[in-house]
Amino acid sequence: MMSPAAAQGRPATIVAFGDSLTAGYGVKTSDSFPAQLQMALEAKGHKVTVVNAGVSGDTTSDGVARLDWALDPKPDAVILELGANDALRGIDPKVPRANLDKMLTALKDKGVPVLLAGMKAPNNWGDEYAKSFDAIYPDLSSKYGVPLYPFFLDGVALDRSFTQPDGLHPTAAGVSEIVKRIMPDVEALVASVEQKEAQKK
């Protein structure tokens, strides 16, 4: 069965907004998260364009600074994946919390549906830090009523068969695993976009 967006011929635009995990650090462009996600969605009959708005090294502060630019022209939906670099640098969790809050406010104000991709703090900053950092994503998901994919690197983090020699970034196979796991949540996001389009008719 063809989806409403596919039936009307206009691809839905999803902006994957994040850091090196989105950008595709260390893998070919065709193996990056946005590229593999688009292929997987198309294989399921969705007409979509997944825009790679990932910048390696970006913290949530960098994300706030460039969000407006990424939302012009306005996309149909956004996958928000930021915070890993804040955690790696041991930045006070209050900072990424405030920044993600600002970005979610901006997306809500523009009426752009969001899938929030959660991140977990590395163990080296201690339990208190991890507890405070890890709580950011479920808290904001609940505050804004947006769906949460709890951990972007689920099934990939710390698995050497899926990570590059740095132990942090996924290989092409690792990205494929991320796409496979996040797919139901992204399909739900696309379905909400298609529903919105169908209601406009």
Q: What is the dihedral of CA 130, 21, 155, 34, to 10 degrees?
A: 140
Q: In what order do the strands lie in the sheet with 12-18?
A: 48-54, 12-18, 77-81, 114-117, 148-149
**Tokens standing for residue 153:** 């690197």
Neighbour count for residue 54 (Cβ, 10 Å): 23
Complete DSSP assignment for 5-53:
HHHTTPPEEEEEEESHHHHTTTS-GGGSHHHHHHHHHHHTT--EEEEEE
Let me know if 20 is a catalytic residue.
yes
> Active-site residue among 19, 32, 58, 169?
169
Let me know if 169 is a catalytic residue.
yes
Residue 91 one-letter amino acid? I
> Active-site residue among 20, 32, 141, 176?
20
**Tokens standing for residue 138:** 């479920």
Catalytic sites, residue numbers: 20, 166, 169
